[in-house]
Amino acid sequence: MLRELSRRSLLQALAGSTAALPLANLLGTTDAYAQGTTPPLRFVALFTSHGCLPELWNPQGSETNFTLDFPNSMLAPLQEHKDKLLVLDGLDYQVLYEQGLTGHEGGPVTFLTGSKVNTGSGDHLPESASLDQVLGNHIGGGTRFRSLQLNAWEQFGGQHVYNSISFTANGSRVPFERDPANVYQRLFGDAPSPSADPAQVASSRARRKSLLDFLMKDATRLRNRLAGAERQKLETHLEALRDIERRLGALAVDPAPLPKQQSGETACGGGAAPPSYGLGGLGDLNNMPALTRLHMDLIARAFACDLTRVITMTIPGPSMPWLRIHEDTHNDIAHLLDVQDEPRRSTIRGKMVLIQRWYAEQLAYLMTQLANIPEGSGTALDNTLIYWGNELGDASGHMNVRVPTVLAGGAGGRFRMGRFLRVRPAGSNPLGGWAGPGTRLSGAVAHNKLLVSIARAFGVNVNTFGHPDYTGELPGLT
């Protein structure tokens, strides 16, 4: 209980304020934790693409005594968080290749569904709901949003398979949000709309303060009446929100117009101005790092306020100019990992290391943000399970075997973290003796078992998830 101000008094003081909902959730959960209630378990699914190099992805060492700090380690940015990791080696998207489909396109669909992928409509769609939707329906009813679906950068058009990892029970795609400003507005209300006409935005900003100015007004009035722990949490939360607003404002500035061309001149360098999506530069791939970090910050803020407990996010990367990788990461890197001529081989493999390290940096950043949110006797990271996956293990061979998989966070104590777990014996060949697509594969370990284990960790009593042929939990997680 708040020692200097009851929750009821606080809500009465905030009545009618833009601060009411997020602060009520934030301080309401504090009140509950102080009375001994277990903090809620939360789930984040991150999807990145195009496989990896297993020998540079997997940790070095034993199950509990391993390191990510070695030359060309793809997971090196996660070394500081290794006690909160469960790196899994040997999982397959068995449901894909045994049901007659291999390659890239099925991976994003089956990642959270465990479903056979149906291509009868000309699209790639599952036959059952994704894990986030099941979990959202099970644990999200008490929050403002049952789940949120985020996308760092849309590629190939909104309906392309690489943009979607969340599906309803009838196999329809759940719409995703790629504009952090829109997510911010949905979560916290009253912020100026970045999609509005620029003149209207300017007028609106002139008429009223920003959302966080209103929040700060209420918080300043109440800060001295809060006890130490609650006061610190409130100040940390508000400062994080203000930082997000500052960066949203920086990104929302419309790009400078290109200089007018004189007769006979060629187009200016740098390409065409990005589309005017409201958040300036949404369509500019160079902005993807900043947009990704904003999404990560908003995940942390949403969890801090208990506005949702289930979030999915895709982070594509058709190229990565901020890493000086201008090639197509699919055709020019992932598909060429098996070339043998030097120095071409080393160059391509080195770029794949940079790509996967960048993805690992984003996960490490999110983990750090969650670890900075005090919650109960620990942090929000302790009460979060992050599932990071891919669609391929053998990228050059287009096969969905030995798919790189990481569980991160504290998992609310449901899983034993701080381990490197080989779910199939080291050195075994998952395709040995396989007759080809559409036939059973002996010795494979279906990722459906992991989906069952995660669902059960959240209290969903199932023995299968997705395709009914693959049953039971994944051994060794608890």
* 405-409 sheet: strands from edge to edge: 148-151, 310-314, 42-47, 384-389, 405-409, 85-89, 419-422
* Cα–Cα distance, 182 to 295 (Å, whole number): 11
Contact at 8 Å (CB) between 155 and 163? yes
Q: Is 478 inside any structural domain?
A: no
With tokens 């078992």, the residue in question is 449
More confident residue, 239 or 104: 104
More confident residue, 247 or 401: 401
How does residue 268 score in pLDDT terms, banded at 50, 70 and 90?
A: very low
pLDDT for 156 beyond 70: no
Q: Is 310 inside any structural domain?
A: yes
β pairing state of 378-379 and 384-389: unpaired
Tokens found for residue 474: 């994944």
* Cα–Cα distance, 66 to 58 (Å, whole number): 10
Q: Is 11 inside any structural domain?
A: no
Instruction: Give the count of domains, the chain.
Output: 1
More confident residue, 443 or 203: 443
Helix, coil or strand: residue 139? helix
How does residue 4 score in pLDDT terms, banded at 50, 70 and 90?
A: very low
More confident residue, 12 or 65: 65
* Cα–Cα distance, 389 to 295 (Å, whole number): 18
Q: Is 419 inside any structural domain?
A: yes
pLDDT for 33 beyond 50: no
Out of 138-147, 236-245, 378-387, 410-419, pick the least confident. Answer: 236-245
Contact at 8 Å (CB) between 361 and 48? no
pLDDT for 367 beyond 50: yes
Residue type, 28: G
pLDDT for 91 beyond 90: yes
More confident residue, 52 or 460: 460
pLDDT for 293 beyond 80: yes
- What percent of the chain is predicted at pLDDT more than 90? 42
Selection from 130-134, 292-296, 330-334 with the highest mean pLDDT: 130-134
pLDDT single digits (tens) 304-350: 888 899 999 999 878 999 999 999 988 899 889 889 999 999 999 99
pLDDT single digits (tens) 423-433: 987 667 777 77
Element (H, E) at 303: helix 288-304
Preceding peptide of 180 cis, ω within 30°: no
pLDDT for 421 beyond 80: yes
Tokens found for residue 100: 């007659």
Question: What is the average per-residue pLDDT within 98-121?
Answer: 83
Q: Give the model's pLDDT for residue 474.
A: 97
**Residue count of the chain:** 478
Out of 170-174, 312-316, 437-441, pick the least confident. Answer: 437-441
How does residue 122 score in pLDDT terms, banded at 50, 70 and 90?
A: confident
pLDDT single digits (tens) 351-360: 999 999 999 9
Q: Give the model's pLDDT for residue 452.
A: 98
- What percent of the chain is predicted at pLDDT more than 70? 69
Q: Is 208 inside any structural domain?
A: no
Contact at 8 Å (CB) between 86 and 438? no
Tokens found for residue 370: 């969650």
* Cα–Cα distance, 142 to 469 (Å, whole number): 33
More confident residue, 189 or 65: 65
| pLDDT averaged over every residue in the chain | 78
Contact at 8 Å (CB) between 107 and 390? yes
Q: Give the model's pLDDT for residue 325.
A: 94
Q: Is 50 inside any structural domain?
A: yes
Q: Compute how many other C-beta atoms are within 10 angstroms of the C-beta atom of residue 225.
A: 14
Helix 131-139, helix 106-113: angle, nearest 10 = 30
Question: What is the average per-residue pLDDT within 259-266?
Answer: 33
Query: pTM for this one?
Result: 0.81
* Cα–Cα distance, 43 to 202 (Å, whole number): 38
pLDDT for 225 beyond 80: no
Q: Is 376 inside any structural domain?
A: yes
Helix, coil or strand: residue 87? strand
Q: Give the model's pLDDT for residue 241.
A: 62
How does residue 172 score in pLDDT terms, banded at 50, 70 and 90?
A: confident
Question: What is the average per-residue pLDDT within 450-469?
Answer: 97
pLDDT for 269 beyond 50: no
pLDDT for 264 beyond 50: no
Q: Give the model's pLDDT for residue 368.
A: 96
Q: Is 218 inside any structural domain?
A: no
Structural domain of residue 436, as residue ranges?
A: 43-180+285-458
Q: Give the model's pLDDT for residue 135.
A: 97
